[in-house]
Amino acid sequence: MNEKWEKFSARLSELEDLSQAIRLMHWDQEVMMPPEGGPARARSLATLQAMAHDRLTNTEMGDLLGELGTDDSLDQWQAANVRITKREYDKATKIPEALVRELAEHEATAYQVWTKARPADDFSMLEPYLKKMIELKKQVADSIGWTNERYDALLDDFEPGMTAKEVEVMFDELADDLRPLVDQIIDVAGERPAFIDRSYDSAKQQQMCDWLVQAMRFDGQAGRLDTSPHPFTMAVSKGDVRQTTKADPNAIMMSIYAAAHETGHALYEQNLPEEHKGTPAGQVPSLGMHESQSRLWENQVGRSRAYCGYLYPRIKDFFPEQLADVDEQTFYRGANHPQRTLIRVMADEVTYNLHVALRFEIELALFRDELQVADLPQAFNEGMQKWVGITPPSDADGVMQDMHWSIGALGYFPTYTLGTLYAAAFFEKAEKDLPNLHQDMARGEVGPLLQWLKTNVYDHGYLYPAKELGQMVLGEQITARPFIDYLRTKFGEMFSTSF
């Protein structure tokens, strides 16, 4: 028995226990906690984050990592755990514990302010908290160190190894094809199907979402579905994956596809290699890879012609009156209707990545000191007009629509588009490997696709960096080509034209 590995493994278990407590407290804050519990929760989270930081960065952990890093007797999973932890250790040891504590407390506090400022449409409530958040995240980036862009240090938290320059190139290349394609598709899309805007009982929507996530193979014995102001998924621990959705009486499609989106995240977490769950190597390699699954299950599956044919009669069972005059083709058109919309989470797959490009542009400007927090509302509105072609009528539906900046998730947004590109490429490969894929989806049978993803993506955990895993699956580096081809084919067939 390797005594050093046993000591290291015990330390990893302790860190995971602390992380589970932190994740559970975050989930509770967003789903169950009374508003007045915010200040105490912020302090508790700050204490736990400081404890985890101390245990990760102490001298004994550093010594163990140094010794195990040259130990050739470790198997590939053990070696991956050492490599991944060493990477986190190297970053964490550069960040003062006081900054860790202050940031954790501020994240919890700023989120609570966002939950009040957005309904009030009052950016002035949130502004000082966002200003402090940017200042704290700059301190984190400067503590870690960076070469070309301060933003690189933050992006690396979500997409290890990726740089702002790579993201800029990704958006530039994508925009060259996507922007004109958006105009062409919207020009022929016609009127928005009327049934989308009818009123749908929120309680019935929640029942519908409960059914949908199970139909997509979410294991309710190892997770749960709740509601929150902003849908999200959180893997609390092994056997405990929690997702939320949001039911809006006037937005049935948001309810359906938020549930499908979050189920994609949840399926990834539930199907990671069982024996390695709770270890660094048993987690997801990047947020872009995670987003590939939410985008794939939401769009390539959930919005496909085949799966919409399966969904239609079942959704109609929940809402027979609202869908009485709606046929299957109209439902499919409604699920995919392209238009310029204010809200990112309600955007169709044609325009969605334009919303993401705007947010990346703003984040980069903030960390290049080219944009001040006080000027965010105007910059956001101008950016929406530039990228999406529409100007928000309020800050609630403009700069404050996402919770990400209030919780310090700066550097996160680019992973949505990277995930979109991976999703299209993975699904294209699955179509080649599974000749009956669309026939299966038309019957609601997603098992073969889930198994394909498990074999090719989920079972690898974090054995490999995301770029390397993507290349293993695809046989080539990821590009925008599969995504653009997918849009052209799908919407060309839908509107009987070519793009």
**Rounded-to-integer distance, Cα 110 and Cα 116, Å:** 10
**CA 417: distance to chain centroid?**
10
* Spatial contact of 486 and 305, defined as CB atoms under 8 Å apart: no
Name the token pair of 441.
Answer: 């989806």
Give the strand pairing for 223-227 and 240-245: parallel
Give the strand pairing for 233-237 and 240-245: antiparallel
Please give the helix or strand (H or E) that residue 228 lies within, else none.
none
Give, in order, the Cα–Cα distances in Å from 465 to each of 15, 83, 158, 276, 420: 22, 11, 12, 16, 18
If phi over 0 gives left and psi between -120 and 50 gives alpha, with beta otherwise, what is residue 247?
beta
The residues, ordered by sequence, that sit 6+ positions from 166 with a Cβ below 8 Å of its Cβ are none
**Rounded-to-integer distance, Cα 414 and Cα 159, Å:** 9
Picking from 227, 221, 223, the residue whose alpha carbon sits closest to that of residue 206 is: 227
Sheet holding 240-245, edge to edge: 223-227, 240-245, 233-237
Name the token pair of 56.
Answer: 């990760």
105, 149, 262, 269: the catalytic one is 262
Give the strand pairing for 233-237 and 223-227: unpaired
Name the token pair of 3.
Answer: 């005594």
* Residue type at position 271: N
Instruction: Supply the DSSP symbol for 192.
Output: P
User: Is 262 tagged catalytic?
Assistant: yes
Please give the helix or strand (H or E) that residue 406 lies within, else none.
none
**Rounded-to-integer distance, Cα 337 and Cα 491, Å:** 10
Picking from 130, 126, 108, the residue whose alpha carbon sits closest to that of residue 23 is: 108
**Rounded-to-integer distance, Cα 276 and Cα 16, Å:** 12
Picking from 431, 449, 415, the residue whose alpha carbon sits closest to that of residue 486 is: 431
**Rounded-to-integer distance, Cα 311 and Cα 302, Å:** 8
Picking from 272, 252, 263, 270, the residue whose alpha carbon sits closest to that of residue 297 is: 263
**Rounded-to-integer distance, Cα 311 and Cα 194, Å:** 18
Residue 227 pairs in a beta bridge with: 245
Catalytic residues: 262
